[in-house]
Amino acid sequence: MKDLNRYRNIGIFAHVDAGKTTTTERILKLTGKIHRTGEVHDGEATTDFMEQEQERGITIQSAATSCNWNDHTLNIIDTPGHVDFTIEVYRSLKVLDGGVGVFCGSGGVEPQSETNWRYANESEVARIIFVNKLDRVGADFYRVVKQVEDVLAAQPLVMTLPIGIEDNFTGVIDLLTRKAWVWGGRDDPEDYEITDVPEDMQDLVEEWREKLVETAVEQDDDLLEQYLDGNEPSVDDLKRCIRKGTIALDFFPTYCGSAFKNKGIQNVLDAVVEFLPNPTEVKPQPEMDLEGQETGDVAVVDPSKPLRALAFKIMDDRYGALTFTRIYSGTLKKGDNVLNTFTGKTERIGRIVEMHADSREELEVAQAGDIVALLGMKNTRTGHTLADPNKPATLEPMVFPDPVISVAIAPRDKAGNEKMGVALNKMVQEDPSFQVATDEDSGETLIKGMGELHLDIKVDILRRTHGVEVEMGKPQVAYRETITKTIDDSYTHKKQSGGSGQYGKIDYRIEPAGTNEGYVFESLVTGGNVPREYWGAIEKAFRVSMDEGTLAGYPLLDVKFTLLDGGFHAVDSSALAFEIATKAAYRQSVPKAGAQLLEPIMKVDVFSPDDNVGDVIGDLNRRRGMIKSQDAGPTGVRVKADAPLGEMFGYIGHLRTLTSGRGQFSMEFSHYAPCPQNVAEEVIKEAQERRANK
């Protein structure tokens, strides 16, 4: 049996370019997993093994790897930082017990760091902070610590201080032990010595150490009393308190260094082992029955309990489909039959492998606390639970956001149609935030995703991995429709054609519901004028009708339908008759209820150098953006705004032109808002043309 206390499942997450992948590389080198470190900017990082990642120098897929440090096993997941791939971060956080948040020493807390941090808060993941790139021009450790407090509203617990900054950065001071770690000039992680604190830094060290001790002892009343009486707690006592506070998310131990220069990584690894929780110390996952109701039980991390495992990622590689799985309780053996609670089918476990980026080690058995990849799973998708067939239960399902942008694609030659279909099917299984649909009007294949870059990468994968060349159409925005007025109306469906006929009469009210309420149905019928058994058919018929609005054919949002009264016939009334009546009522009344087009509004977060702020804001205003805030930082200004998605196509190219390549931005879906008249007319006109060309 493995000792679960010696296990750490951790993720490394941050903004684009903060140095996550480089940090992972250094960790693997230190732990002896790899003997030569690959560099991201040379396109050689171990965990970035996709061509698209190597070319662009960004991480797209979360890579999983495991290594050992101080007799502990670390399962590490390197996650992407780019906003279009947040789904990867979200999925990873779901199955991790702890994380390392990497921040850039000069860029500080950047837009995407905020999103990732918010996700980690929602998933209640304990974290330590690593302020990286302190050797860069403009780096300032203390400023980043302040930003963590102000922007993320988190409490950093500073554990190490930098010695020197920028080109003079030589090492770190460990505040707990009051020792300096100084690295030699060869950029070798093993080439360091532990010495006393430099004279000129002693006061600073004592000041920060006092803050550290004061925060830590609050976790233990006895120690706090002793400390107030003037007794210095021992290092072991302090470590115990820090561990307790970190797991409770009261504070986040903060370290500094430069991953590229191999400085400060050991301290981070020690912190992972000392302060982040093992699988048994994390709040266990609640179990649900097969109907999705909580049972009150939890998946306890214990190999002897019934099997509970969550498939959190599917990846297709040269060996076939890999299903990455976190085992929460029980044991999994090669050749076992397990139940997929989502499909209700059993699956046989073909092979179990432990991953190291894109190479692997075969396992005979895996147990609670492990993160492994399974081969040979046929019907398992992201978010499905694998359970013991004799004692089934399901874990909380993962929720994925709806795509906001779609593009029509077509293969360059007709022969590629089938090949494209197979490839798209594989890609949908790998990424639930990516969807494929067929446009009913034109018969085109539409791919839908979270942003332009997301779809760009998908087309790139189609081309390179699957060998399918495609033509892309213009990006399409996922508009919606709603109503603005309340209408009381009535509709009678009557059909007599020899023998029994059809009859259903409904009196109803259609009115706008609250924002984000979706569809609300209510019946005020008394006295049995519309028998209760037909209410379900009416509710369903209206809900189905809402998939196609009356203006431009986009789905209808936020509508309340109230059934006021009606009439039925003892012989001729049926569920079908009331269904037909409801669908006709929808077409009759919605156009009269002040139908309105809604457009997706994105939360945009732009970083601009000081000199170009005016141009960037002017450009956002032209794109109908509403400026929310401007925060000046040392290297430039963060502008936050709400802007319609339809105006943001190609924005990154434009922003780079405005800012001479220095601007950055991230955007995520915020809400739907009414479309201005001129835009709505344009969209409706396009929709009518599409229908006319059918």
DSSP characters over 250-292: S-EEEEE-BTTTTBSHHHHHHHHHHHSPPGGGSPPEEEE-TTS
Inform me whether the pLDDT recorded for 379 exceeds 80: no
Residue 60 confidence (pLDDT): 30
Lowest mean pLDDT among 17-26, 223-232, 398-407: 17-26
Distance from the first to the final alpha carbon of the chain: 65
pTM of the entire predicted model: 0.64
Inform me whether the pLDDT recorded for 38 exceeds 70: no
Residue 253 confidence (pLDDT): 93
Section 567-592 average pLDDT: 88
Residue 651 confidence (pLDDT): 82
Q: What percent of the chain lies above the pLDDT cut of 90?
A: 8
Distance CA(585)–CA(569), nearest Å, equals 19
Asked if residue 423 lies in contact with residue 466, where contact means CB atoms within 8 angstroms, the answer is yes
Confidence band (pLDDT; 50, 70, 90) for 51? very low
Section 123-147 average pLDDT: 86
Q: In terms of pLDDT, which residue wins out, 367 or 85?
A: 367
Inform me whether the pLDDT recorded for 318 exceeds 50: yes
Lowest mean pLDDT among 48-62, 107-121, 415-429, 536-550: 48-62
Residue 641 confidence (pLDDT): 93
Residue 510 confidence (pLDDT): 92
Q: Model confidence over 208-248: pLDDT tens digits?
A: 988 888 888 888 888 888 888 888 888 888 888 999 999 88
Q: Model confidence over 579-589: pLDDT tens digits?
A: 999 999 999 99
Inform me whether the pLDDT recorded for 549 exceeds 70: yes
Lowest mean pLDDT among 103-117, 508-522, 592-606: 103-117
Residue 290 confidence (pLDDT): 65
Cβ-count burial 211-240 (b if 16+ within 10 Å, e if not): ebbebbbebbeebbeebeeeeebeeebbbb
Residue 37 confidence (pLDDT): 41
Residue 415 confidence (pLDDT): 73
Confidence band (pLDDT; 50, 70, 90) for 39? very low
Q: In terms of pLDDT, which residue wins out, 487 or 312?
A: 487
Residue 508 confidence (pLDDT): 92
* Token code pair at residue 165: 């900054």
Inform me whether the pLDDT recorded for 186 exceeds 50: yes
Inform me whether the pLDDT recorded for 673 exceeds 60: yes
Q: Model confidence over 389-402: pLDDT tens digits?
A: 888 787 766 566 66
CA angle 149, 608, 636 (to 5 degrees): 50
* Token code pair at residue 53: 């990642």
Distance CA(74)–CA(68), nearest Å, equals 6
Q: Model confidence over 424-460: pLDDT tens digits?
A: 887 887 777 788 888 765 677 888 877 677 787 788 7
Alpha helix locations (H) across 534-650?
A: 535-545, 575-589, 613-622
- The contacts of residue 76 (CB under 8 Å, 6+ apart) are 10, 11, 12, 24, 27, 64, 65, 66, 67
Section 185-191 average pLDDT: 68
Q: Model confidence over 64-79: pLDDT tens digits?
A: 677 778 888 888 775 5
Q: Among 381, 360, 379, 435, which Cα is nearest to 371's?
A: 360
Section 619-631 average pLDDT: 91
Round the average pLDDT of the chain to a whole number and report it: 79
Distance CA(624)–CA(635), nearest Å, equals 27
Section 137-159 average pLDDT: 86
Q: Among 124, 148, 128, 156, which Cα is nearest to 13's?
A: 128
Residue 643 confidence (pLDDT): 92
Section 379-384 average pLDDT: 76
Residue 534 burial by Cβ neighbours in a 10 Å radius (0-12, 13-18, 19+): buried
Residue 627 confidence (pLDDT): 92
Residue 460 confidence (pLDDT): 79
Residue 683 confidence (pLDDT): 86
Count CA within 13 A, CB hemisphere, residue 479: 28
Asked if residue 574 lies in contact with residue 502, where contact means CB atoms within 8 angstroms, the answer is yes
Torsion 340-345-346-352 (CA) sign? negative
Distance CA(55)–CA(316), nearest Å, equals 20
Distance CA(512)–CA(514), nearest Å, equals 7
Residue position matching structure tokens 């009356």: 550
Section 15-42 average pLDDT: 58
Residue 626 confidence (pLDDT): 93
Q: Model confidence over 518-544: pLDDT tens digits?
A: 888 988 888 778 888 888 889 999 989
